[in-house]
Amino acid sequence: MVNSVDLNIGTMCNNNCRFCVVDHSRNPTHDCFEDIEKELEAFREKGVESVAFLGGEATIRRDIIEMISLAKKLGYAKIRIVSNGRMYCYPDFLEKIIKAGVNRFSVSIHAHNASLGDYLSRSKGSFTQTTTGIKNICKMGFSLDTNTVINKLNYKHLPEIVLFLNNLGVNNMHFSVINPMGNAMTNFDEMVPTLTEISPYIKKSLKICDKNNIYLTIDSLPFCILPECNRYKSELYDILTHVSFSKGNERDRFYWQERKKNKLKTKPKKCCSCRYFGVCEGIWKGYAKKFGFKEILPINGVEIHNLDQMKRIQGQGLKDI
């Protein structure tokens, strides 16, 4: 049974990040409450116990407390908000959503200082609000994980970002290789570094994490890039997750892992000879379109058939976060 659902509740956001997968020049949306209510009920009936509210920015909806309360009433055990964290700078708001039922926090943060953070988000003051929000979550005794989208302006600062976040009280971090869609595609030249460029900084960051007992995973870096760091690749720890997304007048439902592998990412023919072929998602299509596949170099060896086998080889277990 698939135990979690990512519920996208609209694309409206109080940031307009230069690397966002959403195209902010299109009309932003707030999905209607009744649709979300139906989805919450339907997934709960299937036995799903974990829900994450995603945007856009979920916390700017006026009915977010109502949605969280409904999830709690329906019996979801884990209720997560994926957010840019700006609204958490208001302790009253944070207290309200915790009281309503939120017990997991995922915060997106992409810089280690205000000038870079605000430039990336195109929203003055957003970095200070996000960092205050993170501090408030920690102060209230909740743990959180962060997501940092690796882009052309922050990749050389990844080690500093790790240290900065750790100082704020964060021990659980994710780096995501930028997906050139939406704003990120529009701003491709300014935002998208090559996998080769980012690799040494990822490696340096992982060393810092190992030393300081910080849990860091890397999302969407194929197994042939930095293969010595494969045990940190997030695909190993992905749990099959439903996604519910508004599509016109209906909701589109799919599994995130399948959507990534079959629609959003791609692999060249030469991958057939790679030992990771069966478990690898490949690279983002938008990246391949612009940069091609020259960095992709198949790795010889005994074929790996599934992620469980890969996890055993890497000696890592799943972490419940």
Residue 177: CB minimum distance to ligand SF4, A: 12
**Helix (H) or strand (E) segment spanning residue 280:** none
Torsion 107-110-112-116 (CA) sign? negative
Chosen residue from 5, 94, 177, 271 binding ligand SF4 by CB under 6 A: 271
Q: Which is nearer to ligand SF4, 91 or 278 (CB)?
A: 278
| 296 is a contact residue toward ligand SF4 (CB under 6 A) | yes
Cβ proximity to ligand SF4, 110 vs 233, nearer residue? 233
Question: From the CB of 195, what's the least distance to ligand SF4, in Å?
Answer: 10
State the nearest-atom distance from the C-beta of 222 to ligand SF4, in Å. 4
Report whether 57 contacts 133 (CB < 8 A): no
**Residue 79: both structure tokens together:** 């209720």
Size of residue set near ligand SF4 by CB under 6 A: 13
> Rounded to the nearest whole angstrom, what is the least distance from the CB of residue 221 to ligand SF4 in the complex?
10
Q: Among residues 85 and 222, whose Cβ is nearest to ligand SF4?
A: 222
Q: Return the amino acid letter for 143.
A: S
Verify cis geometry, omega within 30 degrees of 0, for the bond prior to 56. Answer: yes
Nearer residue to ligand SF4 within complex by CB, 28 or 227: 227
Instruction: Give the span between the Cα atoms of 266 and 275, in whole angstroms.
Output: 17
The 104-143 contact track toward ligand SF4, x by CB under 6 A, reads: ----------------------------------------
CB-wise, 22 or 271, nearer to ligand SF4?
Answer: 271
- Closest separation between CB of residue 293 and ligand SF4, Å? 8
Q: How far is the CB of 245 from ligand SF4 (least distance, A)?
A: 26
* Residue 264 φ/ψ region, left for φ over 0, alpha for ψ in the -120 to 50 degree band, beta for the rest: alpha
Is residue 195 at the binding interface for ligand SF4, with CB under 6 A as the rule?
no
- Per DSSP, which regions of the chain are E strands? 4-8, 50-54, 78-83, 104-108, 144-150, 172-177, 215-219, 241-247, 250-255, 265-266, 283-284
Q: Which CB sits closer to ligand SF4, 115 or 300?
A: 300
Tell me: does residue 274 bind ligand SF4 (CB under 6 A): yes
Please give the backbone phi and psi of residue 275, each rounded to the nearest 5 degrees, phi first. Answer: -65, -20
* Binding track, positions 202-231, relative to ligand SF4; x by CB under 6 A: --------------------xxx-------
| Contacting range for ligand SF4; rule: CB under 6 A; set: 42-50, 63-71, 149-157, 273-281 | 273-281
Q: Does 282 bind ligand SF4 (CB under 6 A)?
A: yes
298 binds ligand SF4 (CB under 6 A): yes
Contact residue for ligand SF4 among 267, 284, 304, 310 (CB under 6 A): 267
Options 64, 191, 280, 310; binder of ligand SF4; rule CB under 6 A: 280
The pairing of strands 265-266 and 283-284 is antiparallel
Residue 260 interacting with ligand SF4 (CB under 6 A): no
Give the footprint of ligand SF4 on this chain (CB under 6 A). 222-224, 267, 271, 274, 276-277, 280, 282, 296, 298-299
